[in-house]
Structure 1
Amino acid sequence: MTGSDDTHQFRTWLIIAVFGVLAFAIGGTAFFLGHSSSSRASMQIVIDDAAASAAPVDPYAQYRATGWIAAENAKPGTHDWAVPDDKAAWAKIEGFFDATSINLGSSVILRSSTRAPTWQVTAYRIGWYGGTGGRMIWKSDRLVGVNQPRAEQGGIPKAWSAPWATSLAIQTDATWPPGQYLFKLESVDGGASYVPLVIRDDKSTSDILMQSAVTTWQAYNGWGGASVYTGTTGRADAVSFDRPYTGNGSGEFLGREREFIALVERLGLDVSYWTDIDLHQRGELAKNHRGIVIPGHDEYYTVEMRKNLEAARDAGVNIGFFGANNVYRRIRLDPTQNGLNRHETNYRDASRDPLNGKDPERVTTSFRESPAPNPESSLTGSYYECNPVDADWVVGDTSMWMFEGSGFKNGEKIAHMVGNEYDRVNLSVPTPANIQILAHSPVTCRGMSSFADTTWYSASSGAGVFDAATFGWSPLMLDACPAGTPSTPICKLQKVTENILRAFAKGPAGAAHPSVSNLSKFSMSAPRTTTPPQTTGPQSPTTTTGSTAPSSSTTTTTTVATTTTTTTAVPIP
């Protein structure tokens, strides 16, 4: 054998040996090289199996598995998430994040201010957790306290903000489940307050998507100098998310939304979370869900938010408004140095808005006002009417599907459930022609006798739209009811709520439960000939603790200009 033949043979055996080692390492199975198709197929199978076994595992897939909400709420909870009902404690430490929500696995910047030498922050996921209401997910080390600068005004139009340096960058990971969080700030001098945050799952296709109304929280937030209602030198034309919330720091979450979340998670429903700013920024994702539930007071909407919500409805996504006075005010959102959509503008007066005459649709009056009137009732069903009010909720038509198994009878009441704002069916504005009234509750507001109307309508897409028409619904969802037939008014109401949520989770609830107008039952067969007062004003201070709902009192109001719309009932959207 020549030297070249020896070299060729050596190279051949070397190649065979290398492939053999690779095959053993990758697939754990030796294979022989040959010229047959079966040998080549065996090699391909081994390599394909190895590639499959090496595919990355999504650590967040666990939060899309059936039953994960029930499993999460079976974990030990704690009452430690609650801060004291103590204004002095709230004032000792405050903070805010650079985002109202983040996606799974993302980071968020916390800015905090305290005179205390040290402080600490703990993250709690809010849910049911056996009645404790929260589970601790993470706790920081002790941090050095910094007394940050005072509030300043900036932006166009000017808004009060906190020009604070970064205190802490918080990195989340797969041990942080998606959901609504309260971060509890605690300073060594006894200070304690909240910073809220939603952790989203942008890949979620959960049955129900819970929406937090942060633009409304911010509109009522007077931290630093002014809200869009009141201020040290008058109302502001804009507000900024670059500042803490007044009071205990929770915005309107406690007393408006937390209680409803407790019910949803107690029921173990397939649910995920986002904010109304996400509806503005990534609204196309709403169509990945079967129902959108808005448990609180979602008054302040951009044009994009409204269009995205209507597009979801028109794609068959159910919508549940479990508050009142929703989709009422137009706003615009602009960036600040801390991020997108953090400067919220609401001039109220079209003549003062620079877009007047240029972009009528985005002029920040109410949706029902000129220069581009589009009353909220075409979406919500009912129409915001008046505040303040304190009245009983009165059952109107128990033949409707959501009353099944509740034990409610027509005329039955829940005391003081209607307030402090309410909606009603008003046929002098665009209203779905097939709207049904569940509850028709007499109210007296500013000397005017009227009704609050809880409503349901089905859209042509098959979606169903529910409007509670009162702030009094969500707070009654907190406490668990015993198993079996409901025996108290609140437990009956929870059964109605459960029926609605479970119908939403199954798909287009309007197709399953099409609405048929029952207005004649309430002597409302013809459009109204008068336009009611169109007023809305500041809510009670949202300085609640973890277990106390806000007072329903209202001290001042703002009267806005009206644009009368004389259309009658409109076809199904």
Structure 2
Amino acid sequence: MSSPSKFLRDLAKKTNTASAARAVLRAAHVKSGPGKLGDPRAGLPASVLPSGGNRITAENARPGSADWRMGAGKSRAGTDHERQIKGYASTDSVAVGSAIDFHVAAEPAGAFTVSVYRLGFYGGASARRMLVSPRLEAGPQPVPTPDAETGRIAVEWPVAWTLDVPAEWVPGTYLAVLDKGDGFRNYVPFVVRDDDATADFLVVLPSTSWQAYNWWPRDGITGRNVYYGYVTKEAAESDPDLKAKFSADARGWISNPSRATQVSFARPYFADGLPDGFVREQSFIQWAEGMGYDLSYATGLDLHAGRIDPAKYKGLIFAGHDEYWSTDMYRHAEEAVAAGTSLAFLTANNAYWHVRYDEATRTMSCYKGFEDPHVEDFPTGMWRAGDGHPRAEQQLMGVQYSGIIKGRLPLVVRESGHWFWAGTGLKDGEELPGLLGGEADSLFEDMPRAKGEEQALLTASPYTISNGTRFVQNTSVYRAPSGAWVFTAGTFLWPLALGHPTYQDKRVTRAMANFFARVRA
């Protein structure tokens, strides 16, 4: 492994290049969502399985449906520049018994319906249709020009439909499926919470990172996220230096310097409306609900706002790529561990960028390499390089981001005698093929480490980044002084190894079941 200090300097420079941002967006991209998954409990011993029933097992015993998938009923996705039908929700999560609004635009104007699905296992069907709205109408709505200073795009479309969430609905990840009369379909994801209930595990969905990567509208002209904006094709063509830096996309040219420093939650998600990388969260949900774990659900903004009481759960599960964290998110996670609540990070490159969130305007700020004019505690940049407040992510997670993977590589097993690997049959040096991909975490020896009573590096997987620098990826588990366990997968593909039929690895599912059994004990 190269010097982490040198790597940090190089990375800070590389962060603002279009090539680095493009690599992040396309890394380990899996286009199709999980198909029908077999019984996740099959072949596992009773000692690692949850015992007895709960509201998750009762919910998943109901008849499921795969009709939400794109293509069902001859549905098809529109485009961001034609905007056949697009929508967004008034909040990223809603408590049972409360209401959530859906703002919808359609071109041309026409009728549509909203079908609400809850994602889960449901005998392998992946979801259950909860209800269908009345026939509704929507018409064209304006797409505002990005803010000149921040690139922020926020819309104020009228409310097309309000959902009063029934008090008896089970917490979970829900999709509002917008179906227009001409066959075009769009998704609006949201979480239903139960703030008063307890559960073994709370699944935290990465809503802040979803918005950081949200490139709506990806129309070649207007769209912005914290990685990209656009320059006009005419401007690029007239400037050879500019043309050499950016690649074409639809009707414009992709520009990293034109990226947004602020993004709004008041806008649709780009393309079909599913957040970037949503297949990872969906894969985990399908597996975990099929296992019958006692689960509840929330989002990163719920962690930020203090709506999560860690004392109600044995563990918090960060199911997706959770890269963008506010100070309050970090503080609440640290407090959870200190109080004895375990954490599981199922991907890599988590809590890497420091962000601020303004509830009044639903705006998240992350200036990265640009000067941050609104500093409250320290600039919005890398946590580990915070001005006067550096914080190595591995102090919380055990390991931290080290680089982008080229292609798909094996995870190389280490510490095979550890309880985590019990029952897998794996030996030191054996490989889990194709499960190292997207981005990777490593232990940095010259940076502050987690204050754990014991830490095991469960994999030691060599890889090389694009500039030729070699690293060793690590999957990690450690025990905090409070008794809490903290697991970090250190690869984007761990959730797929759990619940995606194409990528599932029974050795990984057994190891994950071992971890959850240890936390529940």
TM range (shorter): 0.7 to 0.9
Which residue pairs with 2:383 in the alignment? 367
Of 389-398 and 279-288, deviating more is 279-288
1:88 maps to a residue whose letter is G
Which residue does 1:527 correspond to in 2? Answer: none
Q: What is the deviation of 1:286?
A: 2.3
Q: Conserved in 2, the CA contact under 8 Å of 1:332 and 1:364?
A: yes
Q: What is the aligned partner in structure 2 of residue 77 from structure 1?
A: 64
1:475 to 493, 496, 503: 496
Q: Which residue is 2:399 aligned to?
A: 382
Matched, 1:140 2:160: no
**Alignment partner of 1:126 is 2:126:** no
Deviations 1:392-450 (A, max 9, x none): 11111111111111222222212221111000011111113642111111111121111
Correspondence for 1:88 among 52, 56, 78: 78
Q: State the distance in 2 between where 1:180 and 1:317 align.
A: 22
Distance 1:109 1:244, change over 3 A: same
How far, CA to CA, are the matches of 1:99 and 1:439 in structure 2? 39
The match for 2:90 is 98
The structural deviation recorded for 1:370 is: 3.3
Shift of 1:479: 4.8
- Aligned residue-pair number: 428
Q: Deviations over 1:380-402 (max 9, x none)?
A: 11021111433211111111111
Matched, 1:335 2:359: yes
In our comparison, the structure showing a higher alpha carbon Rg is 1
Residues 65, 128 of structure 2: 8 Å contact kept? yes
2:334 alignment counterpart:
310
**Structure 1 partner of 2:245:** none
Q: Does 1:494 find its partner at 2:509?
A: yes
1:489 and 1:287 map into 2 onto residues whose CA distance is 32
Structure 1 residue runs without a partner (length 5+) = 1-64, 482-487, 507-573
The structure 2 residue matched to 1:440, chosen from 460, 463, 468, is 460
What is the alpha-carbon distance in structure 1 between the residues aligned to residue 118 and residue 111 of structure 2? 24
2:520 aligns with one of 501, 505, 511: 505
Provide the rounded CA distance (Å) in 2 between the counterparts of 1:178 and 1:162.
28
Q: Write out per-residue CA displacement over residues 466-494 of structure 1, whole angstroms, 9 at most, x where no aligned residue.
A: 0100001001222579xxxxxx9811111
Query: CA–CA distance in 2 between the matches of 1:142 and 1:172?
Result: 19
Residues 77, 184 of structure 2: 8 Å contact kept: no
Q: What amino acid sits opposite 1:187 in the alignment?
A: K
**Distance in 2 of aligned mates of 1:181 and 1:83:** 16
Matched AA of 1:217: W
User: How far off is 1:184 after superposition?
Assistant: 0.6
Partner residue in 2 for 1:421 = 439
Name the CA distance, whole Å, in 2 between partners of 1:413 and 1:201: 40
Cα distance in 1 for residues equivalent to 2:162 and 2:76? 28
Tell me if 1:449 matches 2:470: yes
Match of 1:180 in 2: 173
Separation in 2, partners of 1:442, 1:418: 10
> Are positions 1:344 and 2:364 aligned together?
yes
Letter in 1 for 2:367: Y
- 2:220 maps to 1:227: no
CA deviation map 1:316-364 (0-9, x unaligned):
0000001000010000001345xxxx200001137x11245xx4x3420
Q: Deviations over 1:151-171 (max 9, x none)?
A: 343598451122211111111
What is the CA-CA distance between 1:241 and the residue it aligns to? 0.5
C-alpha distance in 2, partners of 1:284/1:209? 9
User: In the alignment, is the contact (CA less than 8 A) between 2:413 and 2:426 conserved in 1?
Assistant: yes
Q: 1:73–1:89: structure 2 CA closer, same or farther, 3 Å change rule?
A: farther
Give 3-state SS (helix, strand or coil) of 1:198's partner.
strand
CA 1:437 to 1:160, structure 2 compared with 1: closer, same or farther past 3 Å? same
| Residue number among 252, 277, 281 corresponding to 2:276 in the alignment | 252
Tell me if the contact between 2:88 and 2:104 (Cα under 8 Å) persists in the aligned partners: yes
Whether contact under 8 Å (1:137, 1:175) holds in the other structure is no
Q: Distance in 1 between matches of 2:483 and 2:184?
A: 50
Moved over 6 A (4+): none
Is the 8 Å Cα contact of residues 121 and 290 (structure 2) preserved in structure 1? yes
Contact 1:89 1:193 (C-alpha < 8 Å) held by counterparts? no
1:317–1:463: 8 Å Cα contact kept in structure 2? Answer: yes
Check the 8 A contact 1:293/1:322 in 2, yes or no: yes
Is the CA contact (8 Å cut-off) linking 2:405 and 2:436 kept in structure 1? no
* 1:539 corresponds to: none
Distance in 2 separating the partners of 1:254 and 1:349: 27
If asked which structure has higher relative contact order (CA below 8 Å, sep 6+), I would say 2
1:163 match: secondary structure: coil
Going from structure 1 to structure 2, the CA distance change for 1:170 and 1:156 (only over 3 Å counts) comes to: farther
Output the CA distance in 1 between the equivalents of 2:369 and 2:469: 26
User: 1:277: which partner in 2?
Assistant: 301
2:419 aligns to what? Answer: 401
Tell me if the contact between 2:173 and 2:192 (Cα under 8 Å) persists in the aligned partners: yes
Does the CA contact (< 8 Å) of 2:415 and 2:458 recur in 1?
A: yes
CA contact (8 A) 1:387 1:422 kept: yes
What TM-score comes out, normalization by structure 1 length?
A: 0.72
